[in-house]
Amino acid sequence: MNSISSITSKDRIATLDVLRGLALFGVLVGIFSEFIFYEMVISWDSMVGLSTHSIDSFVSPFIKLFITNKANTLFAFLFGLGFYVQWERIKDKRSDAKVIYLRRTLILMLFGAFHLFVMLAWEVLFMYGIIAFILFLMKDKSDKFLLYIGLFLALFGMIIIEGLSQFLEMWQYVNPELIYNEDGGYNIMQGEWGYATLFSYFWEMNLYELILNGSIISYILYALGRFMLGFLIGRKGWIQNANLHIAGFKKVLWYTLPLGLVMGYWSLSIISVYDYGNIEEMPFLVGFAYLIDFLSIIPIATGYICLVVLGMNSLFSRKILCLFAPVGRMALTNYVIMCQSVNFTYFSIGPGLGLAGEIGTTYILGFSIGVFVTLTITSNIWLKYFRFGPLEWCWRALTYKELPVMMK
């Protein structure tokens, strides 16, 4: 059976599509806010002068507590789970399953590399492609291996590699004039930057801040742990057959989400005081707060998964949540559009708004909601007439070397 068989509605897992769609919203907010939190488009001193500063002072901690690193954790987890589901489907339908899987992964990695160095800093598809190759080598590993190694990497992989980078003084390589000014702070990107300058900035930043200092390894380990856990959950079938495990999801929810939010709230309260220069003689406390903040990510993201799974098993909330399923079904297309909406908002490229340096977190949260609502509406309309999103169709065509039927 080597012909392309289209994925019918029965083949799809609605809960995964909903989770993926909601994760994309968090990723969008995360991309927008990273430019601000790392002071790339505006400094903290400049933010004080914004008309929305009083609101920003509440919105910024809200984003950090509920969204930052939780959305990308959920996104990576779903990629791992999704790759398991894809592998099982391909394996059942084709004799050349390995070739198809590896080609599919290579296409993702090459597209991600282009997107990373040309279109947007902090792009993840390139690294997800690398991780998918690693995951392929682990597909037959035991459940215990995936659980223990995956959990260890998810919790400590990034901490270990970045600590080693600091010990080896690899950060000394990060000092191109394009990225830093004379005082060691970021050069604030101006809204009027054109394509050439912006892309040069992305290239320099990714080269120095991702590759030369070893951060790419730390992020791959960070995401690999989440991929492994997602792959394991997929193998167990807990989300695909969630209706059989409702009691378990309720129990996990009550253990994880409250604990994670308490940990996150406490750690961010310490870190925020440190950021404003009010803690100078307690480095151990600040370091411990950063550790607790990092460890809070997994339980919070786990709680979100449980909330959605339980919501999908309630008739009323399911109708609402399923509105976001088309966003998840077109995840690649919508992800790229979301990334470019960030460029459109911050920079005056073409019809870009050029708002870099003029808006804070209140506005970026509002823009994120607007973009997500727009994509939710357009995705629902698009999938009424077409089987795939535009980039999903291209990815599938290149993977199978055939043109899938696009129209329903």
pLDDT tens readout for residues 357-407: 889 999 999 999 999 999 999 999 999 999 999 999 999 999 999 999 999
Q: Above 70 in pLDDT, residue 9?
A: no
Mean pLDDT of 161-179: 59
On average, the pLDDT of the chain sits at 85
pLDDT at 204: 75
Q: CA 270, CA 289: separation in Å to the nearest integer?
A: 6
Residue range 228-250, pLDDT digits in tens: 999 999 999 999 888 889 999 99
Q: Looking at residue 147, what is its pLDDT? A: 95
The 10s digit of each residue's pLDDT in 184-198 is: 444 555 555 666 777
Which residue shows structure tokens 């160095």? 117
pLDDT in tens, 97-127: 899 999 999 999 999 988 887 777 677 899 9
Nearest Cα neighbor of 347 from 37, 55, 35, 111 is 35
pLDDT at 168: 63
CB 6 within 8 A of CB 314: no
- CB neighbour class for 403 (10 Å; exposed up to 12, middle 13-18, buried from 19): exposed
Q: Give the CA distances from residue 405 to residues 4, 5, 14, 207, 390, in Å, rounded to whole numbers and listed in that order.
A: 10, 10, 22, 40, 12
Give mean pLDDT, residues 194-204: 73
pTM summary value = 0.88
pLDDT band (50, 70, 90) for residue 26: very high
pLDDT higher at 70 or 191: 70
Cα-to-chain-centroid distance, residue 320? 23
Average pLDDT of the segment spanning 10-34: 88
Q: Tell me what pLDDT residue 94 has.
A: 82
